[in-house]
Structure 1
Amino acid sequence: MTAQWPLDWDERVAGTSCEMCGERSPESDEYGIRIYQSSKVDAVLQSASIQRGYTLVIWRGRHVIEPFELSDEEAAEYWLEVVKVGKALAAFYKPLKMNYETLGNTVPHLHTHLLPRYEIDPAPGRPFPLLPQDGSEAKFNAEALNGDAKGLRKLLG
């Protein structure tokens, strides 16, 4: 059987049922801890035990799906914020490589997955095997995650 796009895909694309268009990211929730916020983005350090330092940078302007839907000014602002968060992650975690994945195949709203890549890695030399999350994934130790968030917030000013 061929996989299908979700039945509510048109509504997701239109933003009528977009879970990222709602309120700004809370300080913390089942998905993670907000480590940075600007006028147009939230950066959320993920609590799921997928990869240490895995962070989502979410566009918080109007609903857009693709980066090319942004004005030149918005695009510059978005990518500079993504780079700022990536730089802080690299300084804090000291990975071998940083990955930036702008997907939107599950939630069609502009956001970028920042994934530090380490010597011990599930897919060295290939894209990170990232699967959609539902909030029920195994979590990092809360004390360690909070410590990371505190250190990252300091770097992000």
Structure 2
Amino acid sequence: MSHQWPEDWQQLTRGIGCEMCDSTRPESDKYGIRIRATKLTDAVLQRANIQRGYTLVIWRGRHVNEPTELSHDEASAYWEDVLIAARALIRHYRPLKMNYETLGNSLPHLHTHLIPRYPQDPAPGRPFPLLPQDGSEPLIPEEELQKDASTLRRLLGYDSTE
């Protein structure tokens, strides 16, 4: 089985056709519900029923692939936003452990996966078996997702009507 980088990898690394750069930063989309927004990041609670509380923190400044491309001040702001989102997830979901994955292997745009780990876990003691999403994943029931998003927004002090 041979795996290859996407054909448009070089363009994506420059931000050409980057879905995260092209986003209009909606409060809700096919991927999830935004639970926090700052000038430079969005935290998005994911709809895919991969792991309850699975959230992406997405860099919304200029296109960068790696955190090393950020200035000192940008990096400080980015990681602070990641930690703020993680603290709210921990407070709400009470996981045994929180995983922080900054990958960008399928979409080279800076973002961090926050993955709560629970007693009932698909890979206890090992990295979470996170696979690229293709849209066929089962979804968290909408009522549950909305309730979690509302609680997390309150914990994060985020008013989506501002």
Band of TM-score, shorter chain: over 0.9
**Matched residues in 2 for 1:12 and 1:79: separation?**
23
Task: Show the counterpart of 1:100.
Answer: 100
Task: Show the counterpart of 1:16.
Answer: 16
Unaligned runs of 5+ in 1: none
Q: Which runs of 4+ in 1 moved over 2 A?
A: none
Q: TM-score scaled to structure 2, two decimals?
A: 0.94
Q: Match for 2:31: what amino acid?
A: Y
**Matched residues in 2 for 1:53 and 1:12: separation?**
28
Task: Show the counterpart of 1:40.
Answer: 40
Task: Show the counterpart of 2:160.
Answer: none
Q: Match for 1:107: what amino acid?
A: L
Q: TM-score scaled to structure 1, two decimals?
A: 0.97
Kept after mapping to 2: 8 A contact 1:24/1:42: no
Root-mean-square deviation (Å):
0.9
Equivalent positions of 1:35-74 (< 5 A) are 35-74=35-74
Deviations 1:39-95 (A, max 9, x none): 000010001010000000000000000000000000000000000000000000000
Deviation at 1:30, TM superposition (A): 1.3
**Matched residues in 2 for 1:27 and 1:3: separation?**
34
Q: Match for 1:27: what amino acid?
A: E
**Matched residues in 2 for 1:112 and 1:17: separation?**
20
Kept after mapping to 2: 8 A contact 1:99/1:116: yes
Q: How many residues align?
A: 157
Corresponding residue SS for 2:21: coil
**Matched residues in 2 for 1:134 and 1:15: separation?**
21
